[in-house]
Amino acid sequence: MDEKQCIELLKKYALDEERFKKVLEHSRAVQRVALRIAEDIVANGHHVDIKFLICACLLHDIGRFKCPPGKSTIKHGIYGAEILRKEGLDERYALVCERHLGSGIDKKDIEEQKLDLPLKDYMPESIEEKIICYADSLIFGTKEGTIEEVIDRYRKEVGEKLVEKTKKLHEEIEKLRGK
């Protein structure tokens, strides 16, 4: 998979040009942040699959075309994974879609918050999943925010449990970066 193929895949599933551009612009913003983070992590002696990261960033929100913003927006990760599996992409791409929401969602979150998701863990596991999940949380539309802004937003919108997960992911990423 290369960037051109990823963009063609986004176009294939986009409902219209406006939504295509919106998802692509957001995904490019996530990609810029993710690559900056990955560069630090690699410089600190860890391996990151950069080629995969570049494409996975572009595809992480492909499910938004089946699930526009609104009440069931949380399902866009599931829909994205379904699309990428149907397209025959490496399973790693589908897992990024499923695991990039918030700072990860576990079974307990689904039960406690009565989320409209199949009951399983959606926690980022690979280094690339963690980078994309973290980078995505820092992007508000196409603008990069600070970790403090993310924590404040999550505290207001979702609650303290997501704040704690976000702090933990932030600390893990910063440690990998050597900061």
pLDDT in tens, 127-140: 999 999 999 999 99
Residue 70, pLDDT above cutoff 80:
no
CA 53-124-56 angle, to 5 degrees, is 20
N residues, the chain:
179
Residue 54, pLDDT above cutoff 90:
yes
C-alpha dihedral (131, 63, 26, 23), degrees to nearest 10 = 160
Q: What is the mean pLDDT of the chain?
A: 94
72-115 pLDDT tens trace = 688 999 999 999 999 999 999 999 999 999 899 999 988 988 88
Residue 67, pLDDT above cutoff 90:
no
Cα→Cα distances 25→19, 110, 119, Å: 10, 30, 31
**Weakest mean pLDDT among 4-13, 42-51, 151-160:** 151-160
pTM over 0.85: yes
| Architecture of the domain spanning 3-177 | Orthogonal Bundle (1.10)
E-assigned strand segments in 84-173: 139-140, 143-144
